[in-house]
Structure 1
């Protein structure tokens, strides 16, 4: 994909000779392009012009930063009250470096920022734009929609542990629902006749079951003579 932007940058930015006058020229050209947008019959055309201007400015800043010292770069930003505002434009330049401003002119500005701010997430979308004969807002939204795969809902692992206010923990057995209520009635009977708490009985039952699982307890069935 040809990039008209590179020829513009070459004319505006010389790594050795760029000066304040070159930036003034850049501003002048942008102003002239803005004036032309007023002749457009469609407000969408004006919006497309805004997107192209954002990309041109992003590429300009990225090129200036690459070819000049940190001091010169900071001075340029400071003189135009842009210090601290340039980061999002550098992200735009990095995300769309394989495109020309005109290639993406039909994407509305907010979408450009959205893709650039989350370039790692939307890199597959950006890559697919290279294969389109014409990049439109509708096409981009469709690619973004396909990119959003539904998250796999993993079944929550049952847990009996609960936290206390001081950071400790305790186990809590979930409610036991049975039609015949056998477990509940048996437990209540043991509590009443033996004078033990439900916790003590459950702890003892679990210990016996663990012993049986480990082979330390054998189930003996009575034989009838």
Structure 2
């Protein structure tokens, strides 16, 4: 099971990223493995090794960009097959410039990428890590969770439309509440005196209001005698 997990971790990281010959700490660690162990047949990279290698690579690449001329830097990227891949590592170097690779060893590689790629959003999280005595994946996950603000549900637009079983639709006016019940009283009187349905009267009222809004109906005030 351990071999499978380590293999998955190794597969998740570009082999160019963890070219161990470039990072002395990892060469020394490999050299310190007992001779009785067949190094070539053991996947000895742990999760911490992968994270540290990524951060080491990011810092080294950022340093090369500062030291080399633009032409030399481009040649470095092309020669090593990193062209187009360098930006995400430079983001890591920028986001975690105040940390050492060892500081971040207990964070999952994907979490490192997440924070670096969204450094503006997660700047409070990264700043808080500076105050922690031990930076762990659990601590980072908790800080990230706190940083995420729950999306406020958009208020639903009021709708009078309802669906029938056969796919059609009809409009349904919500209940009308008023202290004096004037609207309901007036509507009922119209229904009783004119023999019309509530729907018919409401439809006519809406048509008249629409005509007034469009200027086709003018309100004439009676002059006082």
Compared CA separation, residues 107 and 118, structure 1 to 2 (3 A): same
Deviation string 1:134-179 (CA, Å, 9 cap, x unpaired) is: 101111111111111212224234478xxxxxxxxxxx99422559
Match of 2:165 in 1: none
The correspondence of residues 1-225 of structure 1 with structure 2, limited to 5 A, is 27=22, 29=24, 32-33=27-28, 35=30, 46-158=46-158, 174-177=171-174, 185-188=197-200, 198=203, 201-205=205-209
TM-score (norm 2): 0.61
Offset at 1:187? 3.5
- Structure 1 distance, partners of 2:32, 2:173, is 72
Contact 1:48–1:107 (CA under 8 A) maintained in structure 2: yes
Q: Structure 1 unaligned runs (5+)?
A: 1-23, 161-171, 192-197, 219-225
- Structure 1 distance, partners of 2:45, 2:146, is 27
Instruction: Tell me the matched-pair count.
Output: 171
TM-score (norm 1): 0.61
User: Higher relative CO (CA 8 A, sep ≥ 6), structure 1 or 2?
Assistant: 1
- Structure 1 distance, partners of 2:111, 2:44, is 15
Contact 1:48–1:106 (CA under 8 A) maintained in structure 2: yes
- Structure 2 distance, partners of 1:125, 1:44, is 31
Contact 1:208–1:217 (CA under 8 A) maintained in structure 2: no
Compared CA separation, residues 86 and 34, structure 1 to 2 (3 A): farther
Contact 1:108–1:137 (CA under 8 A) maintained in structure 2: yes
Q: Which has the higher helix share?
A: 1
